[in-house]
Amino acid sequence: MPLHKADRDSAEAGRLSGEAGRPSAAAQADLATGQPSGENARKPIAVEVCYAPPLPGALSLIAVEVEAGATVADAIRTSGVLARHPEIDLASNKVGIFGKLTSLDGAVSAQDRIEIYRPLTADPKVARQRRVEKIRASSTEGRKWQAREKR
């Protein structure tokens, strides 16, 4: 008689945990603490720390290995980017993983790219308005209906 999907899932869970429906003691400890234990806690994972200073072409992309369960702040400190770029202030600069904002105490996964963002130097709305005004001043676009003398 073939097994139904629910029966197959419970059989698979039992095979993985030792008993049907109950996770192993190590898995229970991992779930309770949110940190990997046993062998997984000792394995290093590779991450990259990225910072782009205001100087053109001075990108810092540093590959580093941290312990599983390490935080974003741990990876940044381990990379040495703070020593290379003293202008970085982790209290004020925002950080993210692959372009998505995260906190300094967020966990990192293998192959993550941790990015340190600089504060904006110009308001984007004001910068766009200036660009548009500059283009309007130098072009006749939008004024074609006027007489040539008034353009």
Residue 132 lies in a domain: no
Provide the residue range defining the domain that includes 109: 41-119
Which residue type occupies 62? I
In a domain, 124, yes or no: no
CB neighbours of residue 114 within 10 Å: 26
Residue 140 within a domain? no
Question: What is the tally of structural domains in the chain?
Answer: 1
Query: Cα-atom radius of gyration of the chain, to the nearest Å?
Result: 27
Q: Examine residue 55 and state whether it is found in any structural domain, yes or no.
A: yes
Examine residue 139 and state whether it is found in any structural domain, yes or no. Answer: no
Is 98 a member of any domain?
Answer: yes
Which is it for strands 44-51 and 100-102: parallel, antiparallel or unpaired?
A: unpaired
- Which pLDDT value is given to residue 48? 94
Under 8 Å CB-to-CB from 101, ≥6 apart: which residues? 94, 95
**pLDDT for position 3:** 43
- Residue 51: CATH number of its domain: 3.10.20.30
Is 146 among the domain residues? Answer: no
Which pLDDT score, from 0 to 100, does residue 144 have? Answer: 66
Q: Per the domain annotation, does 105 fall within a domain?
A: yes
pLDDT score at 26: 58
* pLDDT tens for the chain, residues 1 to 151: 444 444 444 444 444 444 445 555 555 555 555 555 555 556 899 999 999 888 877 888 999 999 998 999 999 999 999 998 888 888 889 999 999 999 999 999 999 999 999 888 888 899 999 988 888 777 766 666 666 666 5
